[in-house]
Structure 1
Amino acid sequence: MHDPAEPVYGRALSETRASTRPMCGRFNAADDPLNQVFEELVGHPFPGETNHNTAPTETAWIIRHDAPQSEKLEAVAAAWWLTPYWSKTAKPKYATFNARAETISTASSFREPYQRRRCLVPVCGYYEWQKDGRRRIPYYIRPRTGGLLLAGVWDRWRSRDRSETITSFAIVTTAVTDKLEFVHDRQPVMLSKDGARRWMSRDAQARDLGALLEPRIPVDLYAVPVSAYVGDPRNKESRCLEPVAAAMAIDSDVQ
């Protein structure tokens, strides 16, 4: 069996040009507490099914604008592995479930989505594996209260004969803050409510977006050691969340 810290989801992660360890590679999506998040942003509860161990290539729910020039937001089911609209095939050659903040404005797969098709990825928390010699220790990183909004970009791919359409997304990652570097060398871009509003603004300038991509922790978190059970992406039940040691409190660095 492959190392659960470096899962393979139908494509070789060695093809990715990102960090030596994939990140962010798993997250938890459940109606509690996401119902409130979706109510506030789109006016209805979380529309998906609970998936305590969402993995790349699986379907998740994102929040995006409902039309190219609209400010109204909508919830959409999308595949977590961005397929650029210009791709010749439905399966990109490289891993595209994460978009690096440092290159998102220039990378061919993400440049246009970053400019025109930004989205929010509401999650209950995400998983990351800490390297400890040859061991891999999974941590569940979650807000102390409520849900967590991650920055994302999305795209829509259509086959040449228009018989197939794929809506897909990537989670934006950035350098890690010192408070989370004990787990990994990268972290997802986490957004406060104000940050989410700015990320989704049609009038956002490059300078504003760049500031949001800087490493920060906008909400108080817990880093919870969990069992290796979460390492298998086929395991979806709440057992994935069960702690095996005391949680570590991580304070927000945003005043």
Structure 2
Amino acid sequence: MCGRYTVTVTMEELMLHFMLGNSFQYSPRYNIAPGQWIPAIIGSEAADQRRIGELRWGLVPHWSKEEKGGAQPINLRAETVAEKPSFQQLLTRKRCLIPADGFYEWKKSGNVKQPVRFIMKDQSLFGMAALYDTWIQPDGGKLHTCTIITTEPNPLVAEVHNRMPVILPREAESLWLDRSVTEAKKLIPLLQTFPEEQMRAYEVDRKVGNSRYDEADCIEPLQALW
């Protein structure tokens, strides 16, 4: 599961890293939670036409009968995306990247749940594979939502949780965002576990558990990185 994450860089850094063709009103986020509007990158057939905007985290697919009537999954398992025709349709036509520089999972120790932040060793940005869709509201308005794809954890994450987000290597981002690619067989192989040797983790304050708390001290380490 991926239920909380961070993106703490500037808009300029996002534009440079992901080669974006636009910017939007954005502020660094230290404790992003489901149900919130989050930055998302939509691709095109040309890499220099990538665009960033906002999607609400928690998928309401176009086939839903009502906005709040379904599960609104914040995550989809890579295995489910590969197997279910309804989600394969989104895989082939409605892909996006969620920019991040860390994500949180909770380690159980007795009755205590200790939040742990996972980042790249070089503290760089990365893109999480996601799907999006548009649901037409009764008044004709459009609701744009998304879900982050998860996969089996690497050994570092497995110490804390049994799933992790699909983090795409830089070389895979262009293929994932290329809207001319509509064959599932070309996309499913991208949904792999990210190597542990490129990541590190550290414990953070339990205030991260409060989804309304979104301050810079959320990412301050309690203990040394491992």
Superposed pair shares fold, TM > 0.5: yes
Alignment partners' CA distance in 2, 1:38 and 1:142: 20
Contact 1:83/1:92 (<8 A) preserved: no
Contact 2:31/2:208 (<8 A) preserved: yes
Match of 2:6 among 5, 28, 47: 28
Alignment partners' CA distance in 2, 1:159 and 1:224: 42
| Identical counterparts, % of pairs | 29
Code of the residue aligned with 1:49 in structure 2: it is S
Contact 2:23/2:52 (<8 A) preserved: no
Contact 1:79/1:168 (<8 A) preserved: yes
Unaligned runs of 5+ in 2: none
Contact 1:38/1:46 (<8 A) preserved: no
Match of 2:147 among 170, 174, 191: 170
Q: Please say if 1:156 is aligned against 2:143.
A: no
Q: CA deviation at 1:179?
A: 2.8
| Aligned residue number for residue 54 of structure 1 | 32
Match of 2:74 among 82, 97, 114: 97
Alignment partners' CA distance in 1, 2:75 and 2:108: 20
Cα distance 1:109–1:25, how it changes in 2: closer, same or farther (>3 A)? Answer: farther
Report which of the two has the higher share of helix: 2
| Aligned residue number for residue 195 of structure 2 | 217
Match of 2:209 among 201, 223, 231: 231
Q: CA deviation at 1:218?
A: 7.9
SS in 2 for 1:194: helix
Unaligned runs of 5+ in 1: 1-22, 249-255
Contact 1:156/1:166 (<8 A) preserved: yes
Alignment partners' CA distance in 2, 1:217 and 1:123: 17
| Aligned residue number for residue 4 of structure 1 | none
Deviations 1:89-115, CA, capped at 9 Å, x for gaps: 112421411011001134466332111
Deviations 1:50-72, CA, capped at 9 Å, x for gaps: 22111001000100136xx7763
How many positions carry a matched residue from both structures? 222
Q: CA deviation at 1:46?
A: 6.5
Q: Please say if 1:86 is aligned against 2:63.
A: yes
